[in-house]
Chains A and B, each alone.
Chain A
């Protein structure tokens, strides 16, 4: 006579357990299955495709009526179990008592509902079962429905994507700083957020829900910061908790979950428990793989074996079509932990392995998760990966095979593959640096920082060098700044930052300068590096400036100077023109010329007259045009929508705004900009250091053009809709150039060394990084955005600019 097995809970775990049991022996037990939902076992993790409409309920059913019938399972769906009497070994339900010999509890979990006011309103839903899905779909039938999903974890995001697919306007509100923080690190979380936003899902991180508002039904969600989000439906997906009230009330031991031993038995040897309701060795599981493992173990032990569940490493995949995401293990940074990172920003691919004691302990993948299982296997096996570490990140295609050729693997890498995880240096940047003359490992390190931190990628960097240089590799030729030092510009820039060198003597001392006070080559460079890196601490040294910057005027071949007042965006007016004409006459200026940058140049002014002519021009509201500076020179513009019948945007306005924001900033070399109001490009923006071409849809920002000794068109940096964003991107680009380029490299030379992708990632893609750049630029501007003419139109400067003594009347003897 068969034993009686009662199963409470018709979920994925119990379904799997029954399968194992019946497969092994379908005569041992008479099975009765209780399920609270009015339907049988279905694949709960496939609810998201049902919500999004990619699958139907029928497709996700794992065990249908025919299966139960064929295997003699008595189904009691929709019938609530109210108590368990362990003394009499009966399960008490709405329709009576059911005796058992063995009991399997698989009551799963319940969604956690955060205790905010309004949580009981009509329209506040959980996301747990098919009923929830059907309720959500009920709301989706009305066009323009607004949904707020509280919780940016796995479930919340799947719900959000599903609701969006059903045509709702969806906002995700997440408490933590980035999405899926339990499964993803910040980088992958960011890529995910970007992708969801690209799909039109609005994401708010770091937001706490204060209240759900509405009269009878949901109308809005109020956040702690005061923001109000309109909502017709609110989905709470902040987490789950084990559901074991039934077991609890019959006296079984519990903690966070119903306690089970390794054989999946509760403290009553006749009562087994599996799934999300249990706690095993202190862990409650919410993912399917360990639950299936529990089901297998419980089934075997119900058959009389003594198998054990040892706990499990879990991995996660997000089931949103087109979003590939994989995470497993522990990916926090920590003492003794190393990481290997592969980043392909353009294609949105990110892979990160966390290594501890030569073993993979964490995997985070985004964009391309094909190798996730392979890494996960190594993680679970605690396999020593030291022998294949060099190519590990490239997956099974390159590692583990007999013919392991790291060179082939490196050769096959795309240019934007990350080589140095510490400093985020991609292969393309290293190749560009090598082609730019960095032919030793030290030089590559200095130029790119690749292998300059933990050094673990040194071998990879050397392979890139060997591939790029061929036989030329190993020729040591790092070029020092000048004869005063053996260090390169890049070495010194790095040391100034890392050693916090804030004065010229500090640099000379720390870097072992061979001369007492440098020379005309290194001093202007050091002066620039110091003031760019330490705007608030370093004091500009005029004696380390070339003549033009020291005098704030351009020296001419006869020793006279030229004076160029600033004309914002090339605009002027009669009052300014009169002042310029008056000054030209008063100081006998022999030549007045229109410059290439849309300014007026007064040539042939004597040095001793400079302070006076500046004072006169200042009085008319004119300031220095910095025509002498390694800094922002001019922003050329066309008349744009103001006058031109072809103009698409206010190009003059943007040019003026750019110039007002950026004047006075010192840069490694001069920076010339232009804004053209349409693609006819009358301002010649496409050969400037920074050039904007306006189009109907917004602004095309190009950088790294040249029209001097080299002629080169700009490369596209970003296309943006708004003037503010264009401005911010340009400011960030210039700041990145200020912080990283070598002195006297124009932007196009610098970009050739670091690569456009590297620039774009920091200036366009990584919004946080961009804002930091802007913040540092603005800080620097607080110090340097001062009109040098106004500061020097003083008697002291007048005296300093005049001869110290006039001995023309002095007698010789």
Chain B
């Protein structure tokens, strides 16, 4: 068996709005892929630990996203909730290569952070 590449090409960066997000479906739920104002990409679990709000629908500001349901704010790099709220979202490695967005295959394995 040949080891598969570590990175999965999920599509062109242009398909994600600046300061926005898209979701990617996996067997263990949706992953949110964010694009910041400076064209960095981040991948996290899509569900807010608070009430399961879809983070991909939140407002992206700096390297943060605000949950659309109850305004929890998460750091996209660390996954940590900000301020008084306690909680954490899973984060996955993501990068851009020649205008394409690549995600770490590790996110396909449940429980790998």
**CA–CA, A812 and B17, complex, Å:** 28
Q: Chain A residue with minimal CB distance to B18?
A: A543
**CA–CA, A543 and B18, complex, Å:** 8
Tell me, yes or no, whether A619 is within 8 Å of chain B by CB: no
A810 touches B108 (CB 8 A): yes
Tell me, yes or no, whether B30 is within 8 Å of chain A by CB: yes
Tell me, yes or no, whether B33 is within 8 Å of chain A by CB: yes
A518 touches B61 (CB 8 A): yes
Tell me, yes or no, whether B105 is within 8 Å of chain A by CB: yes
Tell me, yes or no, whether A559 is within 8 Å of chain B by CB: yes
- Contacts of A543-587 to chain B: CB distance below 8 A: 543-544, 546-547, 550-551, 555, 557-559
Interface segment out of the listed A161-169, A202-210, A399-407, A800-808? A800-808
**CA–CA, A518 and B54, complex, Å:** 21
Q: Chain A residue with minimal CB distance to B33?
A: A804
A807 touches B62 (CB 8 A): no
A811 touches B4 (CB 8 A): yes
Contacts of B93 in A (CB 8 A): none
Contacts of A810 in B (CB 8 A): 8, 26, 105, 108
User: Smallest Cβ distance from B98 to chain A, in angstroms?
Assistant: 17
**CA–CA, A518 and B37, complex, Å:** 11
**CA–CA, A544 and B61, complex, Å:** 9
Tell me, yes or no, whether B49 is within 8 Å of chain A by CB: no
A804 touches B73 (CB 8 A): no
B23 touches A543 (CB 8 A): no
A543 touches B8 (CB 8 A): no
A524 touches B37 (CB 8 A): no
Contacts of B20 in A (CB 8 A): 542-543
B10 touches A804 (CB 8 A): yes
Beyond A550-B57, A803-B30, whether A520 also contacts B71 by CB under 8 A is yes
Q: Mark B59-97, 1 if CB is under 8 A from A, else 0.
A: 111101010110101000000000000000000000000
**CA–CA, A804 and B17, complex, Å:** 12
Tell me, yes or no, whether A813 is within 8 Å of chain B by CB: yes
Interface size, chain B (Cβ < 8 Å): 41
Beyond A810-B8, A813-B4, whether A803 also contacts B23 by CB under 8 A is yes
Q: Chain B residue with minimal CB distance to A546?
A: B68
Tell me, yes or no, whether A412 is within 8 Å of chain B by CB: no
**CA–CA, A803 and B32, complex, Å:** 9
Tell me, yes or no, whether B99 is within 8 Å of chain A by CB: no
Contact of A544 among B4, B27, B52, B59 (CB under 8 A): B59
Beyond A543-B19, A543-B20, A559-B54, whether A517 also contacts B26 by CB under 8 A is no
A807 touches B59 (CB 8 A): no
**CA–CA, A546 and B68, complex, Å:** 7
**CA–CA, A647 and B23, complex, Å:** 53
- Contacts of B1-34 to chain A: CB distance below 8 A: 3-4, 8, 10-11, 15-20, 22-27, 30, 33
Q: Mark A501-515, 1 if CB is under 8 A from B, else 0.
A: 000000000000001
**CA–CA, A518 and B19, complex, Å:** 11
**CA–CA, A164 and B52, complex, Å:** 75
Q: Chain A residue with minimal CB distance to B107?
A: A807
Most chain B beta-carbon neighbours within 10 Å: one of A523, A550, A803:
A803
Contacts of B62 in A (CB 8 A): 515-517, 519
Q: Chain A residue with minimal CB distance to B51?
A: A557
**CA–CA, A812 and B112, complex, Å:** 11
Contact of A520 among B33, B37, B51, B58 (CB under 8 A): B58
**CA–CA, A806 and B108, complex, Å:** 11
Contacts of B25 in A (CB 8 A): 803, 805-808
Contact of A812 among B19, B30, B54, B108 (CB under 8 A): B108
17 A-B residue contacts at CB 8 Å?
Answer: A517-B37, A517-B62, A520-B73, A543-B17, A543-B20, A555-B68, A558-B52, A559-B54, A799-B15, A804-B33, A804-B101, A805-B25, A808-B27, A811-B108, A812-B109, A813-B3, A813-B109
A515-B61, A803-B23, A803-B24 are known contacts; what are 18 more A-B pairs with Cβ within 8 Å?
A517-B19, A519-B61, A520-B59, A520-B66, A542-B20, A543-B60, A544-B19, A546-B68, A558-B52, A559-B52, A799-B15, A803-B25, A804-B15, A805-B10, A806-B25, A807-B24, A807-B26, A807-B27
